[in-house]
Structure 1
Amino acid sequence: MADLPNKSVLVRTWFGDDRAWESLVREVLTPGKEGSLASTTLVNDPEFEGLSPEALKAKHPGGAIVSFLADEITLTDPEHPILAVRVLPPQDYDRGDYKPFRVVPAELSSVDTNINDANLDWEDFANRVDTNGIYRGYAEVRESEQSALISDWARRAPGHRVRTDPEAAITGAKRAPAPGEAEPDPLA
């Protein structure tokens, strides 16, 4: 089996549809919302056909915390949800389960960059997957999480008034006053 580079990789593991792979590659190479691209190396080698997450962990030479698999699910689902796999060997300080999760191609750059640069932890993404186990970005935070985020922010800043508008709490957007409602005092 060919060697993998010692950095983040996206390994094709299913070879049943070349056009699906080409489509995925175009999506991955399209800059994200912030204009960023994943620094993931694309690996398109039939020697990796059927490579499992466990085999990727064992085969990965290090240098990355997360790498990715383009398996049959990735290449047959219209959204192309890529499998994110923690490839960093277990550390003494590990405190959680690093179960693989899927990520839409538009968010690959965010997951790759933030986890591999240690800006965010595995859980920051894995805990925000939808009911299908797919991470779609922070903009897709479920409403049930919005209240939890607001409460968490309130605990961190005692004595500060917390806005209860979930959209504003997540995006920073200001809510327009309702008809007949006065504009809020910006100094309050």
Structure 2
Amino acid sequence: MPPLPIANSSLLVRADAGHDKEWMRLVSAVLTENDDGFRAYVEFVDDPDWYEYLPDQLRAALPHSSEPSILFSADEKTLTTEDFPIVVIDLVEHRSSFRSIASELWAIENNLNISNMDWEDFAKCVDSQGIFRGFV
């Protein structure tokens, strides 16, 4: 397995071979600023080498010199579900993954990468489907 690219920002890896139009809509949604001007700062990886990879496999493929504390994955469920529930993968303590809708990814990316908040702050706020939809 080749290593994922080294990046200063968290990666959002496309892990689904289909749904090209949905992938482009997801990229747009992630890059869109919210009403307060916040957005996720991620680098997108759209490479067939990573299609069908599971979160643990992606985590293992990340170079150890990588700076970010989280990794994101867009699998088939992400690309075929309203609000694009992206897989959020912990790179520090390898805790269980959860999902976040695309419009709330900024909160996770912004806060976890600068250690402003903890993993549990988000993980404990997921709904019954395991999806973080914001602090409501």
Instruction: State the TM-score, normalizing by the size of structure 1.
Output: 0.67
Is 1:65 paired with 2:69?
A: yes
**Which residue of 1 is the match for residue 119 of structure 2?**
122
- When residues 58 and 129 of structure 1 are mapped into structure 2, their CA distance, relative to the original with a 3 A threshold, is same
Q: Which residue, out of 3, 11, 14, partners 2:13?
A: 11
- Aligned pair count reads 132
CA shift at 1:128, angstroms? 0.3
Counterparts of residues 87-166 of structure 1 (less than 5 Å): 87-88=91-92, 90=93, 98-138=95-135, 140=136
Residues in 2 aligned to 1:4 and 1:56: alpha-carbon distance in whole angstroms: 11
One-letter code aligned to 1:80? F
1:5 positional shift: 2.3
User: Alpha-carbon deviation of 1:2?
Assistant: 5.5
Task: Output one character per residue of 1:100-143: Cα deviation in whole Å (capped at 9) or x when no partner.
Answer: 010011111110010111000000000000111110111x2xxx
SS of 2:88 mapped into structure 1: strand
What percent identity do the matched residue pairs reach? 37
Counterpart contact for 2:14–2:46, Cα < 8 Å: yes
Contact preservation (8 Å) 1:81, 1:134: yes
Task: Identify, as 1 or 2, the structure richer in strand.
Answer: 2
Structure 2: distance between partners of 1:47 and 1:2: 10
1:50 aligns with 2:52: yes
Partner amino acid, structure 2, of 1:3: L
Cα distance in 2 for residues equivalent to 1:3 and 1:13: 12
* 1:21 counterpart residue number: 23
> Which structure has more RCO (C-alpha within 8 Å, separation ≥ 6)?
2
Amino acid paired to 2:5: L
SS in 1 for 2:103: helix
Q: 1:18 to 1:2 in 2, by over 3 A?
A: farther
Shift of 1:15: 1.5
Check if 1:41 corresponds to 2:43. Answer: yes
Note the residue ranges of structure 2 that are not aligned, 5 or more in a row: none
Distance in 1, matches of 2:99 and 2:4, equals 24
Hey, what's the Cα distance between the residues in 2 that align with 1:66 and 1:136?
A: 18
Unaligned runs of 5+ residues in structure 1 are 91-96, 141-188
Q: Distance in 1 between matches of 2:12 and 2:26?
A: 11
Q: Which residue of 2 aligns with 1:166?
A: none
CA offsets, 1:17-72, max 9 Å, x none? 10010110110110023211211111111110111111111111221111100001
